[in-house]
Amino acid sequence: MDATAMLRTFCTSVETRDGKAFANLFTEDGVYHDVFYGAFAGRAKIADMIDHHFYETAEDFRWDMHDPVSNGSTLYARYTFSYRSKLPEANGKRAMFEGVAIMTLRDGLIVSYQEVANTAPAFVDLNFAPERIAKIVGKQGAALKAREEMRRHL
């Protein structure tokens, strides 16, 4: 599967709540590192992340990948991602943020998905209290720092 087709399936699977199709883009031992929920390892957990974690607090997902670049073993793409929040303080508002997807590939499947995203503006739009935004963004920064440290030791 070429990068463009993979990314289209990736986005469509999230938008249609098809965790199985999404998980099948990953190797059996693949890991999805979500900016909000953390790491999900293996196809069953990745499918569950889409079918349950994503849709417990949000709906009406839109995900678009832009300008993919790949050398066959790594795939980068800018993205825009949005959803309608089900959280009470959001009052049904849409959250939108931009980021970069970083995928390690093997035999045409995703071994590891990581992302860097600017999430704070979306939380402001959703009426999150400043203290809650600081806590969430702080956790994201700590998780990113831990992944960087882990990579240095490999």
How confident is the model over 55-112, as pLDDT tens digits? Answer: 998 999 999 999 999 999 999 999 999 999 898 888 888 989 899 999 999 999 999 9
d(CA 25, CA 22): 6
- pTM of the entire structure? 0.81
* CATH numbers and ranges of domains, the chain: 3-153 (3.10.450.50)
Q: Which amino acid is at 129?
A: A
Instruction: Output DSSP code: residue 21.
Output: H
SS3 83: strand
